[in-house]
């Protein structure tokens, strides 16, 4: 097509300019700044002195970093795979329904995802309240002793993981539903003509055809849960935050509670690199499985 | 009014020539059809006139104005796209008015032009609908209407009927012919369908391999194809081609076919090996024994006529025409009369020579 | 297939269906429980047994939250900042997505790769530097300070680029024949043709912004500048240890986004699947 090159350049630049300006200010600059800050002994706000890799070398012997790192890993283990399977199960159930019932049931599963974390916190804090929570009534009827879940170190992470699955599962359900809809119905019809049992149909048709979506859900969940902060922070209020530290929480603590910008930045860089490595690994895996087809 | 003059225009896509030195003069009011197989460059040539493709070399003049460097909208031509490209979010009225609003025409005049076009195309009732609410045929009309309101020097059509079903295509073809008679405007029409070309065109431009093979009226192209390519491309069922040895003196020549039968014809050519071309309707089934015989393989009865697919003794294939009430059956031996005035000989370069 | 097997399959299917519905009800029960508790008088809330419907239905806690706390101000802060994030993110992404999809200019490929790369970067790690930046710009405790660091949503540009890529080039050519300027092509054709996706993306961006916790929590220290998601959990003396009051505030914070979802269920679903890279 006949193009006016100069004019096209100009319009292109005008159109990307607002985005590039915001992106530069809010993304590129802070990212570079984070790296620079991580090599300094600096308060949160104000000048610092260059200390080389000191902020990094002290991390291995930092007990709080240890807690934060392993708690994050623990949290990922507790949420990612269980959450994905719960979502798959829900999606398999929802996809069988049709019409209004389906959208109603889907809405019931999806509604928590749409709510702010504060609301989720309030609801579950109330539901699991040691004195009056309805969950405790359930424990009573089952003959189990009541537990102050969010005040007990053992129960804290599993409980927050449980609430997180409840909260974010709807998102994964939607992706699975889209994936299930994309499987052509005639494959199932062919399978039923071959007298394939329900489990074999799932094992040999649904599961392999759904695998790309499953991989996607696992990836999204993995990266999302590495960045966990909100729930842990809120449920720790009035509890024992130092036992419940996760990576972002520790960044927050170092920077905003201890006023150590440089050391906080070093932790941020570590998390940054963790996420990038996982994203890159995952990208490679996806490409390899694509090629195998 | 306007002439469209192309003077040795060329175009390449990444080093590959797609249009090679084409010159063409379209007088005002003429209906010209670009006919050719896919990849022949016919659409590219149309898009070069429209300004949607650049012209690498040569010049384009529209209505006396050099146009190869003008933007598409400034060339005073309007185009009907193959997929119509109606803006889905605008009503029919807005679709037609969009181009006029862009040149800041005053509202009253836009409204008048839209009304006129709607009346011509009998679609007043559709003006406030959106494209999604229209049938294929109606969308086609809107696409034409969007061109009409511009009152352009020339209309460009890019395979406009290819998205319609067979019945609608025939009807729309007739409507297009009527539209041209009424508006008397220049129209350039691209198609690969020879029936559309034959029925609509004042002149057909046959393109092959980035070049013009022949320019002529439909009957010229049909009766006196300039090349082996044109002879084979135009006409349905296609022309028969048989190897022939030419011998004789002066204009009195005898063509000997592969099976040994001889056909006498008048043509001014040196003796040698040629390809003999003859249309099925010039191969008549004879009730009396004739020089050439063949064996009927498949008999296609079309009602008004019958196509007989034959094999000659040497195995070469031939299609002959018989009346609708033909008695021939598959396996019959058939006697054939050639109309020697409708013979064409093609030399090694594919150039056609026509018998007298 | 014998009549017997048909019966068996229907049985199994029936059980799964009933089970799904039952689980869905249990799943949503905490929501119901939270709402219903907020409608009970405080003495009824703390009764030591389960009451699925209040003896006395009361709106006193809502009345309290709306009149005695700063929740009204927080609402305004949430609405303004969420709208700000939505309008700025969607419009800049729309324009940039269009330029990346339809226009050729030097630097285009580099920008595109940068956006794809930033897709992987967790914005949570930038909180320190965002805080320093906003402090230096004196934007802490301001609407702009809440909005600005929330404007990184590369996925929206990616979705826009995909949609603009899918528009057949015929429309662009038709517009060229129609003498449309580049601006008209954008504003009169490409944007209106994709209103659906703009609506969907706007709704979810609004929901994301409304629900944002970490950044608004850091950027604001003055209670009158807080957004509702931060305010209801961070201003401890606003509600005291009154569970029903706290829950009524939570319901008030959740209602706008829940409504947005229930009204635009199809659009939200579409946007969510699109944002994960699946064609809706």
Least confident segment among A268-277, A281-290, B262-271, C54-63? A281-290
Partner C contacted by B99 (CB < 8 A)? yes
Q: Could you give the residue ranges of the DSSP H alpha helices within chain B?
A: 42-50, 92-102, 107-120, 136-148, 166-183, 194-200, 218-223, 228-233
Instruction: Classify residue B59 by burial, with Cβ atoms within 10 Å: 0-12, 13-18, 19+.
Output: middle
Instruction: Give residue limits of the domains in chain B.
Output: 4-227, 240-354
Contact (Cβ atoms closer than 8 angstroms) between residue C244 and residue C252: no
* Closest alpha carbon within chain C to A102: C21
Q: What is the pLDDT of residue A1?
A: 56
C-chain residues near B74 (CB < 8 A): 179
Backbone angles phi, psi at C109, to 5 degrees: -65, -40
DSSP secondary structure code for residue B351 in this structure = B
Contact (Cβ atoms closer than 8 angstroms) between residue B135 and residue B165: no
Q: What end-to-end distance do the CA atoms of chain C give, in Å?
A: 37
Three-state SS at B285: strand
Q: Which residues contact A125 (CB under 8 A, 6 or more apart)?
A: A150, A235
Calculate helix-pair angle for C243-263, A117-127, nearest 10 degrees. 130
- In this complex, the residue of C173, C184, C195 whose CB is nearest that of residue B85 is C173
* Residues A131-187 pLDDT 10s: 788 888 888 888 888 888 888 888 899 999 999 999 999 999 999 999 998 888 888
Q: What is the pLDDT of residue C23?
A: 95
* Closest alpha carbon within chain C to A32: C129
B72 with A4: Cβ contact below 8 A: no
B71 with A1: Cβ contact below 8 A: no
Q: Which residue has the higher pLDDT, A194 or B302?
A: B302
How many Å lie between the alpha carbon of A3 and the closest alpha carbon of chain B?
8
Partner A contacted by B72 (CB < 8 A)? yes
Residue B291, both tokens: 């020089």
Which other chains touch chain A, taking contact as 3+ CB pairs less than 8 Å apart?
B, C
- In this complex, the residue of C170, C180, C193 whose CB is nearest that of residue B102 is C180
Distance from C-alpha of B344 to C-alpha of B4, rounded to nearest angstrom: 33
Residue C91, both tokens: 């419009």
* Closest alpha carbon within chain C to B158: C170
Least confident segment among A24-33, B128-137, B282-291, C175-184? B282-291
* Residues C102-156 pLDDT 10s: 999 999 999 999 898 887 788 899 999 999 999 999 999 999 999 999 998 999 9
Q: Which residues pair with B256 in a beta bridge?
A: B245, B262
How many Å lie between the alpha carbon of A5 and the closest alpha carbon of chain B?
13
On the question of pLDDT at C280 being above 50, the answer is no
Distance from C-alpha of A94 to C-alpha of C257, rounded to nearest angstrom: 23
Residue A24 is assigned to a structural domain of this protein: no
DSSP secondary structure code for residue A99 in this structure = H
Q: Which residues pair with B306 in a beta bridge?
A: B301, B322
* Closest alpha carbon within chain C to A271: C125
Three-state SS at B307: strand
Omega before A77 within 30 of 0, i.e. cis: no
Going A72 to A77 to A82 to A85, the CA torsion angle's sign is positive
Residue A166 is assigned to a structural domain of this protein: yes
- In this complex, the residue of B77, B81, B89 whose CB is nearest that of residue C174 is B81
Partner C contacted by B87 (CB < 8 A)? yes
Give chain B's largest Cα–Cα span: 76
- In this complex, the residue of C21, C130, C272 whose CB is nearest that of residue A171 is C272
Residue A94 is assigned to a structural domain of this protein: yes
Q: Could you give the residue ranges of the DSSP H alpha helices within chain A?
A: 5-23, 29-37, 54-57, 63-96, 99-114, 117-127, 134-142, 153-181, 185-193, 198-201, 207-226, 230-236, 247-252, 261-292
Mean pLDDT of C74-95: 97
Going C234 to C235 to C239 to C242, the CA torsion angle's sign is positive
Residue A18 is assigned to a structural domain of this protein: no
* Closest alpha carbon within chain B to C184: B102
Class of domain B240-354: mainly beta
C173 with B52: Cβ contact below 8 A: yes
How many Å lie between the alpha carbon of A1 and the closest alpha carbon of chain B?
4
Which other chains touch chain B, taking contact as 3+ CB pairs less than 8 Å apart?
A, C
On the question of pLDDT at A293 being above 70, the answer is no
Contact (Cβ atoms closer than 8 angstroms) between residue B266 and residue B253: yes
B54 with A4: Cβ contact below 8 A: no
Residue appearing with tokens 């019959």: B332
Which other chains touch chain C, taking contact as 3+ CB pairs less than 8 Å apart?
A, B
Q: Which residues contact A129 (CB under 8 A, 6 or more apart)?
A: A136, C243
How many Å lie between the alpha carbon of B99 and the closest alpha carbon of chain C?
4
Least confident segment among B32-46, B154-168, C170-184, C238-252? C238-252
DSSP secondary structure code for residue B267 in this structure = -
Mean pLDDT of A84-91: 95
> pLDDT exceeding 70 applies to what percent of chain B?
99
Q: Which residue has the higher pLDDT, C118 or B6?
A: B6
Distance from C-alpha of B72 to C-alpha of B48, rounded to nearest angstrom: 9
C174 with B50: Cβ contact below 8 A: no
Domain C61-279 has CATH 3.90.79.10: no
Q: Report the candidate in A18, B263, B298, B85 with the shortest Cα–Cα distance to residue C88.
A: A18
Contact (Cβ atoms closer than 8 angstroms) between residue C88 and residue A11: no
Taking CB atoms within 8 Å and a gap of at least 24, the contacts of B174-177 are B176/B144, B176/B200
What is the domain extent for residue A155? Answer: 53-292
Contact (Cβ atoms closer than 8 angstroms) between residue B150 and residue B101: no
Residue C161, both tokens: 């680029």
* Residues B124-160 pLDDT 10s: 999 999 999 999 889 999 999 999 999 999 999 999 9
Domain B4-227 has CATH 3.30.70.270: no
Write out the residues of chain C at the interface with chain B, using a CB-CB cutoff of 8 A.
168, 170-171, 173-181, 184, 188-189, 192-193, 195
On the question of pLDDT at C4 being above 80, the answer is no
Q: Confidence band (pLDDT; 50, 70, 90) for C10?
A: low
Distance from C-alpha of A63 to C-alpha of A59, rounded to nearest angstrom: 8
Q: What is the pLDDT of residue A56?
A: 95
Three-state SS at A84: helix
B73 with C177: Cβ contact below 8 A: yes
Q: Which residues contact C191 (CB under 8 A, 6 or more apart)?
A: C94, C98, C198
Pairing of strands B31-35, B203-208: parallel
SS3 labels along chain C? CCHHHHHHHHHHHHHHHHHHHHHHHHHHHHHHHHHHHHCCCHHHHCCCCCCCCCCCCCCHHHHHHHHHCCHHHHHHHHHHHHHHHHHHHHHHHHHHHHHHHHCCCCCHHHHHHHHHHHCCCCHHHHHHHHHHHHHHCCCCCCHHHHHHHHCCCHHHHHHHHHHHHHCCHHHHHHHHHCCCCHHHHHHHHHHHHCHHHHHHHHHHHHHHHHHCCHHHHHHCCCHHHCCHHHHHHHCHHHHCCCHHHHHHHHHHHHHHHHHHHHHCHHHHHHHHHHHCCCCC
B73 with C168: Cβ contact below 8 A: no
Residue A240, both tokens: 């024992």
Pairing of strands B305-311, B240-249: unpaired
Query: How many angstroms from the chain centroid is the CA of residue C204?
Result: 4
Pairing of strands B31-35, B186-191: parallel
Alpha-carbon distances of B89 from B85, B94, B95, C159, rounded to whole Å: 11, 9, 9, 20
Backbone angles phi, psi at A212, to 5 degrees: -55, -40
Residue appearing with tokens 């931060």: C230
* Residues B314-356 pLDDT 10s: 888 899 988 888 888 898 889 888 888 899 999 999 899 998 8
Partner C contacted by B74 (CB < 8 A)? yes
How many domains would you assign to chain A? 1
C128 with A23: Cβ contact below 8 A: no
Residue appearing with tokens 């907020």: C38
Q: What is the pLDDT of residue B2?
A: 57
Contact (Cβ atoms closer than 8 angstroms) between residue C173 and residue C134: no
CB proximity under 8 Å: A 166-225 to C:
166, 171, 174-175, 178-179, 195, 198, 213, 216, 220, 223
How many other CB atoms sit within 10 Å of the CB of residue B220?
14
B52 with A2: Cβ contact below 8 A: yes
Residue A10 is assigned to a structural domain of this protein: no
Q: Report the candidate in A245, A221, A219 with the shortest Cα–Cα distance to residue A233.
A: A245
Pairing of strands B240-249, B211-216: unpaired
Backbone angles phi, psi at B182, to 5 degrees: -70, -45
How many Å lie between the alpha carbon of B48 and the closest alpha carbon of chain A?
9
- In this complex, the residue of A8, A271, A272 whose CB is nearest that of residue C105 is A8
- In this complex, the residue of C128, C250, C261 whose CB is nearest that of residue A34 is C128
């Amino acid at each position: 097509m006949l193009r006016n090159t100069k004019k096209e350049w100009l319009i292109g630049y005008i159109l990307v300019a607002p985005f590039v300006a915001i992106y530069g200010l809010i993304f590129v600059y802070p990212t570079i700044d984070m790296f620079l800050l991580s090599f300094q002994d600096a308060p949160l706000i104000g000048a610092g002195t260059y200390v080389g890799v000191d902020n990094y070398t002290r991390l291995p012997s930092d007990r709080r970093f240890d807690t934060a790192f392993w708690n994050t890993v623990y949290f990922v283990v507790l949420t990612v795979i269980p959450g994905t399977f719960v979502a798959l199960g829900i999606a398999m159930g929802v996809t069988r329904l049709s019409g209004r019932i389906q959208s109603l049931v889907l809405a019931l599963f999806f509604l928590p995802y749409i709510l702010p974390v504060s609301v989720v916190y309030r609801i579950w804090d109330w539901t699991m309240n040691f004195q009056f929570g309805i969950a405790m009534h359930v424990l009573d009827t089952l003959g189990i002793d009541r537990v102050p879940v969010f005040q007990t170190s053992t129960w804290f992470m599993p409980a927050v993981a449980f609430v997180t699955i409840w909260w974010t599962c709807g998102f994964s359900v939607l992706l699975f539903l889209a994936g299930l809809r994309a499987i052509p119905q005639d494959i199932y019809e062919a399978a039923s003509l071959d007298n394939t049992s329900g489990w074999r149909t799932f094992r040999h048709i649904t599961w392999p055809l759904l695998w790309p979506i499953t991989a996607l859900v696992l990836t999204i969940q993995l990266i999302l849960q590495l960045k966990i902060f909100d729930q842990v922070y809120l449920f720790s209020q009035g509890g024992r935050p130092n036992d419940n530290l996760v990576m972002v929480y520790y960044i927050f603590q170092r920077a905003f509670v201890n006023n150590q910008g440089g050391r906080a930045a070093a932790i941020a860089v570590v998390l940054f690199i963790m996420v990038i490595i996982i994203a890159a690994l995952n990208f490679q895996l996806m490409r390899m499985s694509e090629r195998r087809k | 009014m306007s002439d469209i003059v192309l003077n040795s225009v060329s175009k390449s896509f990444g080093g590959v020539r797609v249009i090679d030195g084409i010159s063409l003069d379209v007088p005002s009011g003429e209906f010209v059809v670009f006919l050719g197989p896919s990849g022949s460059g016919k659409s590219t040539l149309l898009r070069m006139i429209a300004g949607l493709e650049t012209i690498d070399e040569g010049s384009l003049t529209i209505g006396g104005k050099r146009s190869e460097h003008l933007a598409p909208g400034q060339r005073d031509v309007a185009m009907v796209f193959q997929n119509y490209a109606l803006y889905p979010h605008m009503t029919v009225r807005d679709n037609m008015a969009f181009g006029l609003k862009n040149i800041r025409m005053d509202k009253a005049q836009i409204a008048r032009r839209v009304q006129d076009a709607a009346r011509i195309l009998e679609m007043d009732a559709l003006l406030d609908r959106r494209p999604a609410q229209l049938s294929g045929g109606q969308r086609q009309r809107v696409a034409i209407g969007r061109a009409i309101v511009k009152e352009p020097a020339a209309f460009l059509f890019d395979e406009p009927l290819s998205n319609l079903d067979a019945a609608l295509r025939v009807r729309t073809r007739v409507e297009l012919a009527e539209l041209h008679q009424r508006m008397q405007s220049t129209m350039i029409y691209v198609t690969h369908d020879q029936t559309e070309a034959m029925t609509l065109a004042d002149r057909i431009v046959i393109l092959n391999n980035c070049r013009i093979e022949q320019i002529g009226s439909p009957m010229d192209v049909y009766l006196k194809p300039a090349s082996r390519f044109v002879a084979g491309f135009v006409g349905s069922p296609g022309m028969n081609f048989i190897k022939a040895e030419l011998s004789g003196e002066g204009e009195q020549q005898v063509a000997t076919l592969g099976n040994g039968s001889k056909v006498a014809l008048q043509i001014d050519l040196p003796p040698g090996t040629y390809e003999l071309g003859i249309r099925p309707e010039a191969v008549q089934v004879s009730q009396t024994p004739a020089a050439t015989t063949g064996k009927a393989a498949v008999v296609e009865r079309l009602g008004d006529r019958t196509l007989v697919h034959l094999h000659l003794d040497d195995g070469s294939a031939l299609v002959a025409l018989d009346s609708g009430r033909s008695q021939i059956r598959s396996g019959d031996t058939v006697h054939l009369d050639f109309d020697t005035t409708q013979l064409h000989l093609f030399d090694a370069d594919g150039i056609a020579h026509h018998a007298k | 297939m014998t009549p017997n097997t048909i019966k068996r399959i229907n049985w199994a299917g029936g059980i799964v269906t009933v089970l799904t519905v039952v689980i869905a009800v249990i799943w949503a029960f905490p929501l119901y429980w939270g709402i219903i508790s907020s409608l009970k008088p405080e003495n009824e809330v703390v009764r030591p047994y389960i009451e699925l419907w209040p003896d006395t239905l009361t709106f006193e806690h809502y009345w309290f939250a709306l009149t005695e706390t700063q929740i009204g101000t927080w609402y305004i802060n949430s609405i303004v900042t969420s709208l700000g994030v939505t309008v700025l993110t969607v419009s800049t992404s729309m324009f940039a997505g269009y330029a990346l999809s339809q226009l050729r200019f030097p630097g285009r490929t580099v920008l595109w790769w940068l956006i794809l790369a930033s897709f992987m970067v967790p914005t949570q790690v930038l909180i320190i530097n965002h805080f320093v930046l906003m402090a230096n710009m004196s934007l802490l405790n301001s609407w702009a300070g809440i909005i600005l660091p929330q404007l990184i949503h590369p996925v929206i540009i990616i979705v826009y680029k995909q949609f603009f890529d899918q528009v057949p080039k015929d429309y662009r050519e038709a517009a060229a024949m129609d003498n449309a300027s580049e601006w008209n092509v954008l504003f009169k054709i490409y944007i209106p043709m994709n209103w659906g996706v703009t609506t969907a993306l706007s709704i979810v961006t609004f929901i994301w912004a409304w629900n944002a916790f970490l950044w608004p929590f850091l950027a604001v220290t003055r209670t009158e500048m807080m957004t509702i998601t931060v305010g209801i959990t961070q201003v401890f003396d606003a509600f005291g240890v009154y569970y029903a009051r706290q829950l009524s505030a939570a319901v008030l914070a959740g209602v706008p986004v829940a409504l947005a979802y229930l009204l635009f269920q199809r659009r939200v679903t579409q946007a969510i699947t699109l944002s994960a890279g699946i064609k809706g």
